[in-house]
Amino acid sequence: MSVVPPSTQKAGFGGIIVVTALMLFSMFFGAGNLIFPPMLGAQSGENFAPALIGFLVTGVALPLLAIFALVRSGSDLTALASRGGKVFAFLFPVLVYLAIGAFYAVPRTATVSYALFITPVFGIDSQLALVIYSLVFFAISLAICLNPSNIVDTLGKYLTPALVILLFLLVIVSFFKLHGTPAPAIEEYQGAPLVSGFLQGYFTMDSLAGLAFGIILISSLQFKGLTKENGLTKGITYSALIAGLLLALIYIGLAWIGHSIENGQGYEDGAALLSSAAQQTLGTPGLFILGLIVVLACLTTAVGLLSSTSEFFERLFPKITYRRWLIVFTLISFSVSIMGLATVLAIAGPILGFLYPSAITLIALTLLEPVLDKPLGKRLEYTFRFALVVSVIWAALATLNSVGWGSSVIEPLIGWTPGHELDLGWIVPTVAAAVIGYIVDAVKKSPEKDVKNTTI
């Protein structure tokens, strides 16, 4: 019988799980998670259900699978990515953390919260106001992150409950007060609404964030006294599932708002739609409530991203401490954020289009490996390497093609694959490469002592 550490005895296993799940939910749920579901609900029309299911796959299921895949690696994203070789193991995690960190997702939390709170509530919109707001926003984020052991308590006990209560208030009131007639689906959601919803889920960036947040989730539970012998794996699983359920419920509610509001397709974006919904259902105070939701969502996400990114780079370059990395990334995030929302959002598409195929491939193969490697009696090697190389090359070509660089040469090379028009052309070549790699793994002689996966 194992001895339960004092912190676990004091809080209880259930209490630890609930607080940690709320922390994880709050780190996932940022401004992008607020503004994309309402527009999906408005634009999908009669195809609301399949579009929403597709969104939930990439917005909820895939982030959870990312966490489970990371746990199976036994450590962090670098250990998980090592299956693709040394170069991939270094470059992929670095690019993921920079994308979800200081060069895109973190600055977005400040610029979006400014645009949805300061401007509509106080009627202020100037470069000086943005600079001041970003300075205060990142000062608060930095203060919370400077003590990483308290992140789970700060987010899980205080900020997240307030965020969840405000979100459910808006959704429930909207359910009873909004009775608009949904318009027919726009062209994007007519032919393949499930796929369109799936691709919209990319923009939450939660699947990439799931690969990063595993570090925070594991270390937070360990700090609370959970170990491998004392329920750590169960703690990770239960926390992730509860956080995923909360995400799914709120996504469904936000999408329903867009689906039910009058003239939902007439709004420029999800931010304008939500602002109107808040004002229609809760009056002028609704704008303030929405502003608080946005600020809390953005602040909790910024804290999660800054802390996980700093922890990762400290592991990668241990001579530079967590606090120094944190200060560096906070300063970079502040500098990028004051360029404005339009500049920050402009780089999202190409970044996500390049990183997601490799991320999905890595997650899928990691979770399938226990089944695939059993007949071989050894770990998969070339299955991972072949599939990941092809996914990276295909994603790079598709990204260049999407921005118009070398399209005359690239389009004939990649345009033949099934799903190309839906931005899913990488799937068939990647699966084919995985099959070839699996055959090579099967015929290649394995060393007498083979290293097995380390799970937590």
Interatomic CA distance for residues 339 and 333, integer angstroms: 10
What does the pLDDT read at residue 7?
Answer: 42
Instruction: Domain ranges for the chain, please list them.
Output: 6-339, 347-446
CA 223, 227, 233, 238 torsion-angle sign: negative
Residues in the chain: 456
Residue carrying structure tokens 């990488």: 426
Instruction: Compute how many other C-beta atoms are within 10 angstroms of the C-beta atom of residue 9.
Output: 11
Helix (H) or strand (E) holding 249: helix 232-260
The three-state DSSP-derived secondary structure of 70-81 is HHHHCCCHHHHH
DSSP 143-160: HHHTSGGGHHHIIIIIIH
Token pair for 292: 């608080």
Question: The tokens of 254 are what?
Answer: 């936000």
Ranges under pLDDT 70 in the chain? 1-11, 31, 73-75, 148-160, 215, 229, 341-349, 445-456
pLDDT, position 194: 92
What are the two backbone dihedrals, phi and then psi, of residue 339, each rounded to the nearest 5 degrees? -75, -15
Over residues 230-242, the pLDDT tens digits come to 778 888 889 989 9
Enter the tokens of residue 81.
């990515």
CATH number of 6-339: 1.20.1740.10
Contacts with 66 (C-beta within 8 Å, 6 or more apart), sequence order: 207, 208, 210, 211, 214, 359, 363
- The Cα 34–Cα 297 span in angstroms is 9
- The predicted structure's pLDDT at residue 290: 80
- The tens digit of pLDDT for each residue in 332-387 reads 999 988 887 666 666 666 777 788 899 999 999 988 988 888 777 778 899 999 99
Decide: residue 210, CB within 10 A, 0-12 exposed, 13-18 middle, 19+ buried.
Answer: buried
List Cβ neighbours of 404 (8 Å cut-off, separation of 6 or more): none
Q: Answer whether 373's CB lies under 8 Å from 379's CB.
A: yes
User: Per the structure block, which two tokens stand in for 46?
Assistant: 């009669």
pLDDT at 386 (0 to 100):
95
CA dihedral 378, 379, 380, 382 (to 10 degrees): -90
Beta-strand runs (E) in 8-60: none
CB-based contact 182:46 (threshold 8 Å)? yes
What is the model's pLDDT at position 305?
A: 83
How far is 337 from 185, CA to CA, in rounded Å? 34
Structure tokens at 301: 């996400």
How many angstroms separate the CA atoms of 65 and 60, rounded? 9
CB 48, CB 183: distance < 8 Å:
no
Q: Which amino acid is at 259?
A: H
Query: pTM for this structure?
Result: 0.80
CA distances from 192 to 10, 198, 350 (A): 51, 10, 22
Q: What is the DSSP letter of 454?
A: P
